[in-house]
C-alpha cells in the first residue's frame, strides 16, 4: 500500500472513530494521528533522521498508556497539594464577583442566564466539574489535537495564550505547539486521565525541531531549548501556575540551558525538581511526560465562583455533587476488597476513582477512596493562590532572553 493511500485510510479511521464514545474516540484519534504523522513525511521534505522511526516504534506501546499513570518513578501518586492545609498567609485569597450577589440573585441567573455567572472550576482536578467552560480557540500559534476536549476556565485559556505569546514575542515565527486535552465541556472524568476534570489541567507539546508532531518524545537531539524554556519561564513568572509535570530527562536539558544563559541557580533549584533538594518545586517528574508537558493552573475567579455557587448548582441540577475522597496509602497485604470494607464503599467505586483496570494495588501508593454517597457532598474549599516564584531582579535583568534575530534555537546542545 502506498504512503498516500495508507494516510487516507488512517484519516478515514480517525473520522470514523469520532463517532464512538468520546473518551475512546479521543484515544483512538490521538494514536491514529501519531501513526498518520509518522507515515506522511515524503522523502526530502523533513524525513525522519536514521534511527528515529525505530526509536518511535520502541516507545509506541509506552505512549498508549502514558496519561493513565501520572505517578513518579516509585509508583506513588504525584502529590499535587490539593488536600494539604492552606496557610492563609502564604498567598492571596481568591475573589469572585459572585461574592457581592445574594443567593436569590445567583439562582435567578442560573434559571435565566447561566452564562452571565462566568466559568466555574468545581472541586479538585481529579474529582471535579466545569461549569460555563471556555473552549480553547483556534490559532496560528497552536493546534488543537482534540477540540472536543479542549475546554477550560477563562483563566486557563488566557494563561496559555499569554505564555505562548511571550515565546512568539521573543522568537517571531515560532512553530505551532500542539495542545492536547484540557477538559470535557462539563468537566468530570476524561479517560484516560485521573485529572483534567475541572478545566485547569492542560497537556501541551514541547517545542521541537522541524519534524515535530504530537506526542513526540523530547530528546537532546530535537528539543528546542530556547523556545521551550521561554515558554516554561513565562508560565512560572506570568501566570498562576500550580504544577508543571516534565520528565526528569527533559528537566535536565532545560535547567542546563537556563544556567547557561545566566538564570539564578538558587531560583532554578526552587523551580526544578531535577538536581534540587528543595521542598515542593513547581516542575516535577512524572512518568510519561517526556513527550508532553502537563500544566495545572490556579483559576482564582473560577474556583472561588464555584465555592460561592456550589450549593445552588447542585440544587438546580446544573452539576452533580462532586466526589469526596479519602486519600489512603496502601500497605503491604491490603486489597481493594479490604479497603472497600474499611471505608464502607465498593471495589468498583475505588477502581473508578483511580482509573484502575484490575483489582491489583501497590503498597506505598496513594489511592482515592470515595466516601459513602449518603448525605450531601461537602462544597469546594476556598482557594488561596501563592505568590508567583519570580527570579531575583538582578538575575531577571542579566538573563534577558536572546531574541530570534540574535541567535537561533539551541536544538542540539
Non-local (6+) Cβ contacts of 129 within 8 A are 122, 123, 186, 187, 188, 197, 198, 319, 320, 322
Domain boundaries, the chain: 69-321+381-413, 325-376
The pLDDT of residue 213: 87
* Mean pLDDT of the 95-116 span: 95
Please provide the CATH number assigned to the domain covering 325-376. Answer: 3.10.350.10
**What is the residue-averaged pLDDT of the chain?**
78
The pTM assigned to this predicted structure is: 0.71
* Mean pLDDT of the 381-386 span: 85
Compute the distance between CA of residue 293 and CA of residue 147 in angstroms, rounded to an integer: 18
pLDDT(196) > 50: yes
Q: How confident is the model at residue 377 (pLDDT cuts 50, 70, 90)?
A: low
Q: Range with the lowest mean pLDDT among 44-48, 114-118, 124-128, 315-319?
A: 44-48
Cβ–Cβ < 8 Å for 124, 194: no
The strand pairing partners of 369, in sequence order, are 326
Cis peptide upstream of residue 151 (ω within 30 degrees of 0): no
Question: 319-332 in b/e burial notation, b at 16+ Cβ within 10 A?
Answer: bebbbbbeebebee
Q: Range with the lowest mean pLDDT among 46-55, 181-190, 321-330?
A: 46-55
Compute the distance between CA of residue 278 and CA of residue 247 in angstroms, rounded to an integer: 17
In order of 86, 203, 306, 321, the CA distances from 200 in angstroms are: 19, 10, 13, 19
Find, among 128, 150, 113, 182, the residue nearest to 320 by Cα: 128
Map residue 202 onto helix, strand or coil. Answer: strand
* Mean pLDDT of the 80-90 span: 44
Compute the distance between CA of residue 46 and CA of residue 136 in angstroms, rounded to an integer: 29
In this prediction, what percent of the chain has a pLDDT beyond 70? 71
Q: How confident is the model at residue 112 (pLDDT cuts 50, 70, 90)?
A: very high
* Grid cell in block for residue 308: 460561592
* Grid cell in block for residue 252: 535536565
| Packed helices 103-112 and 300-315: angle between N→C axes, nearest 10 degrees | 80
Specify the DSSP class assigned to residue 45.
S
pLDDT(287) > 90: no
* Mean pLDDT of the 64-89 span: 39
The pLDDT of residue 380: 64
Compute the distance between CA of residue 347 and CA of residue 291 in angstroms, rounded to an integer: 33
The pLDDT of residue 216: 92
Please provide the CATH number assigned to the domain covering 69-321+381-413. Answer: 3.30.1380.10
The pLDDT of residue 93: 84
Amino acid at each position: 500500500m502506498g504512503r498516500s493511500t495508507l494516510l487516507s485510510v488512517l484519516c478515514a479511521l480517525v473520522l470514523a472513530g469520532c463517532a464512538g464514545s468520546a473518551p475512546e474516540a479521543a484515544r483512538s484519534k490521538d494514536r491514529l494521528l501519531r501513526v498518520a504523522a509518522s507515515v506522511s513525511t515524503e522523502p526530502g521534505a523533513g524525513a525522519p533522521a536514521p534511527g528515529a522511526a525505530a526509536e518511535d516504534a520502541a516507545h509506541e506501546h509506552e505512549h498508549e498508556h502514558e496519561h493513565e499513570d501520572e505517578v513518579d518513578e516509585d509508583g506513588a501518586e504525584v502529590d499535587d497539594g490539593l488536600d494539604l492545609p492552606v496557610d492563609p498567609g502564604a498567598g492571596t485569597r481568591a475573589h469572585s464577583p459572585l461574592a457581592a450577589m445574594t443567593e436569590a440573585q445567583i439562582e435567578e441567573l442560573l434559571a435565566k442566564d447561566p452564562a452571565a455567572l462566568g466559568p466555574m472550576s468545581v472541586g479538585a482536578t481529579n474529582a471535579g466539574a466545569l461549569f460555563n467552560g471556555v473552549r480553547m480557540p483556534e490559532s496560528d500559534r497552536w493546534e488543537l489535537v482534540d477540540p472536543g476536549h479542549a475546554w477550560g476556565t477563562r483563566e486557563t485559556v488566557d494563561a496559555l495564550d499569554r505564555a505562548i505569546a511571550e515565546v512568539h514575542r521573543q522568537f517571531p515565527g515560532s512553530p505551532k505547539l500542539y495542545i492536547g486535552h484540557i477538559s470535557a465541556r462539563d468537566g468530570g472524568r476524561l479517560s484516560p486521565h485521573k485529572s483534567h476534570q475541572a478545566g485547569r489541567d492542560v497537556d501541551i507539546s514541547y517545542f521541537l525541531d522541524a519534524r515535530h508532531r504530537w506526542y513526540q518524545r523530547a530528546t537532546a537531539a530535537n528539543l528546542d531549548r530556547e523556545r521551550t524554556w521561554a515558554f516554561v519561564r513565562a508560565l512560572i513568572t506570568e501566570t498562576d501556575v500550580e504544577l508543571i509535570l516534565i520528565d526528569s530527562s527533559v528537566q535536565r536539558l532545560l535547567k542546563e540551558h537556563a544556567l547557561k544563559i545566566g538564570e539564578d541557580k538558587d531560583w532554578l533549584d526552587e523551580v526544578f525538581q531535577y538536581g534540587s533538594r528543595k521542598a515542593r518545586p513547581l516542575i516535577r517528574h512524572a512518568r510519561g511526560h517526556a513527550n508532553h508537558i502537563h500544566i495545572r493552573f490556579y483559576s482564582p475567579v473560577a474556583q472561588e465562583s464555584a465555592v460561592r455557587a456550589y450549593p445552588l448548582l447542585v440544587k438546580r441540577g446544573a452539576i452533580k455533587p462532586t466526589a469526596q475522597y479519602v486519600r489512603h496509602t496502601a500497605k503491604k497485604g491490603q486489597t481493594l476488597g479490604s479497603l472497600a470494607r474499611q471505608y464502607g464503599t465498593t471495589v468498583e467505586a475505588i477502581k473508578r476513582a483511580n482509573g484502575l483496570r484490575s483489582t491489583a494495588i501497590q503498597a506505598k501508593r496513594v489511592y482515592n477512596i470515595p466516601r459513602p454517597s449518603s448525605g450531601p457532598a461537602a462544597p469546594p474549599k476556598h482557594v488561596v493562590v501563592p505568590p508567583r516564584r519570580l527570579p531575583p531582579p538582578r538575575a531577571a535583568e542579566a538573563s534577558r532572553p536572546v531574541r530570534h534575530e540574535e541567535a537561533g534555537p539551541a536544538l542540539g546542545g
